[in-house]
A and B are shown apart, each in its own frame.
Chain A
Amino acid sequence: QSALTQPPSASGSPGQSVTISCTGTSSDVGGYDYVSWFQQHPGKAPKLMIYEVTKRPSGVPDRFSGSKSGNTASLTVSGLQAEDEADYYCSSLAANNYVFGTGTRVTVL
């Protein structure tokens, strides 16, 4: 099972929006509504930001939103803030497996 494909980097100025894509196949992203997004600051554990494609856990700002179309899921961070600078990973259930994305480093300019 191959990793899900994400762009290596994305950036935006404070207050702007940034969208990160996560491309898989019909065997993972396209086949299940179980896409999650995790935020990871350097040296820290991943933190769940989005699950089941669009849902936010309690405590996650509504600036974070998720969507999916076909085999590609997306995470949008609106109103970028300095603390949003981090690595972001998508994940998806796959047949007999659970796969993560290649990670995107978001830089707040």
Chain B
Amino acid sequence: QLQLQESGPGLVKPSETLSLTCTVSGGSISSGNYYWSWIRQPPGGDLEWIATIHYSGSTYYNPSLKSRVTISVDPSKNQFSLRLSSVTAADTAVYYCARHLPCGGTNSCTFDYWGQGTLVSVSS
């Protein structure tokens, strides 16, 4: 059974950079035509897609966050990571990592496995 687990600081100061890592177990991040994504949800709010990466290095970003976001992958550790710079209180959210099935052809274009999420608060 595939499992994803987020890790990183729970508190980040305004203007600093938020860094999170997702560790994948029960399967290889490099196998199959899978992509890996970050999604966030503010307290009491709605889901927002942040970014997606393929183990080959192809990346896709939410246009509204693109200038502040970097997603990266480390196949040797079966991990992928998120960096969000210049954070403000509006970036306070539960951050989820998820497996993304690609779009097009016979693919399903959805998020089928999710981590449990990690709350990141932005405060001084």
Chain A contacts to B: CB under 8 angstroms? 1, 3, 32, 34, 36, 38, 44-48, 51-52, 55, 57, 89, 91, 93, 96-103
Contact = CB atoms under 8 A, between A and B. Distances in A.
Interface size class of B (residues with CB under 8 A): 20 to 34
Contacts of B47: 38, 46, 89, 91, 100, 103
B64 A45 contact: no
Which of B46, B47, B52, B112 has the most CB atoms of chain A within a 10 A radius of its CB?
B47
Interface in B80-124: 96, 101, 103, 108-112, 114-117
A34 B110 contact: yes
B112 A97 contact: no
Interface in B59-87: 60, 62-64
A93 B102 CA distance: 10
B108 A93 contact: no
A99 B49 contact: yes
Contacts, number: 63
Interface of B: 46-49, 52, 60, 62-64, 96, 101, 103, 108-112, 114-117
A100 B115 CA distance: 18
Given A34-B109, A36-B111, A51-B108, A45 B48 contact: no
Nearest to A51: B110
B114 A51 contact: no
A55 to B, nearest CB: 7
Contacts of A55: 108
B46 A57 contact: no
B112 A48 contact: yes
Contacts of A44: 116
A48 B111 contact: yes
